[in-house]
């Protein structure tokens, strides 16, 4: 398509279990209100269950359900690993290696097919993908803006600021961040959010209230103007 330039972002978190999939699916729903063809991508997924005899990953299934464009599994999830452990360990246990060039090539194909691609990273920003490469290397290779999911719990300020430093060290821009209330008992949540608003120097795209059963469709996501 002449002049076609798809939107894309890389979703990372202050830690594992902070709601990256929830935010990624909410981003897909928000983008779908402005763009016809939106698709999620989970380059590396570790941990599978069997559904109808097939090995599947729950995060990948959630991204596909929130996408408006169906693509081959080899494109939206090029690396599927059985064990729910750090990707470099899961790959070693499966006798596989994680090839960043191949992932970038898959992402490039998605950019040609879609209007918007939301890429969900694995774990935190510096999660190891091999003995020498990390999720940060993948984000740098893709070279699109980053969305940071901050899991609001004790220690999140340090984790958020460290992750911001790592993002900047890779020459990447922070498109925005999301505050996810993962610990309903956390004290001074508003104070923590105010501090992060002052120090992350990026727009707060959403503040997600704690939900016993999270539902991405209930989240109000303020997309950056360039993505609308």
Tokens coding 226: 């360039």
Domains and CATH numbers, the chain: 14-148+166-223 (3.40.50.300)
The SS3 call for residue 225 is helix
Please list the active-site residues.
42
Rounded CA-CA distance 220/213 in Å is: 16
Give the distance from CA 61 to its chain's centroid: 14
Q: Identify whether the C-beta of residue 182 lies closer than 8 Å to the C-beta of residue 153.
A: yes
Is residue 152 within 8 A of residue 180, CB to CB? The reply is yes
Query: Whole-angstrom Cα distance, residue 152 to residue 71?
Result: 34
Sign of the torsion angle spanned by Cα atoms 209, 215, 220, 221: positive
Task: Please report, in tens digits, the pLDDT of each residue of the chain (228 residues total).
Answer: 445 789 999 999 999 999 999 999 999 999 999 999 999 999 999 999 998 889 999 999 999 999 999 999 999 999 999 999 999 999 999 999 999 999 999 999 999 999 999 999 999 999 999 999 999 999 999 999 999 999 999 999 999 999 999 999 999 999 999 999 999 999 999 999 999 999 999 999 999 999 999 999 999 999 999 999
Terminal-to-terminal C-alpha distance of the chain: 19
């Amino acid at each position: 398509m002449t002049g076609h330039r798809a939107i894309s972002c890389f979703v990372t978190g202050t830690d594992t279990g902070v709601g990256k999939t929830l935010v990624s699916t909410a981003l897909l729903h928000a983008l779908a209100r402005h763009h016809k063809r939106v698709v999620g991508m989970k380059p590396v997924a570790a941990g599978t269950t069997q559904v109808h005899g097939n090995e599947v990953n729950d995060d990948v299934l959630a991204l596909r359900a929130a996408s408006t464009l169906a693509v081959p599994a080899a494109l939206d999830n090029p690396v599927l690993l059985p064990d729910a452990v750090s990707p470099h360990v899961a790959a070693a246990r499966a006798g596989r290696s994680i090839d960043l060039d191949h992932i970038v090539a898959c992402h490039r194909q998605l950019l040609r097919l879609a209007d918007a691609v939301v890429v969900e990273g694995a774990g935190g920003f510096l999660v190891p993908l091999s003995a020498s490469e990390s999720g940060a290397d993948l984000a740098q290779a893709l070279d699109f803006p980053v969305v940071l999911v901050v899991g609001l719990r004790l220690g999140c300020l340090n984790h958020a600021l460290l992750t911001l430093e790592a993002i900047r060290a890779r020459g990447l821009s922070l498109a925005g961040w999301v505050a996810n209330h993962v610990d309903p008992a956390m004290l001074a949540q508003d104070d923590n959010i105010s501090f992060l608003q002052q120090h992350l120097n990026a727009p707060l795209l959403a503040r997600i209230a704690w939900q016993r059963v999270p539902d991405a469709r209930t989240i109000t996501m303020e997309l950056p103007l360039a993505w609308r």
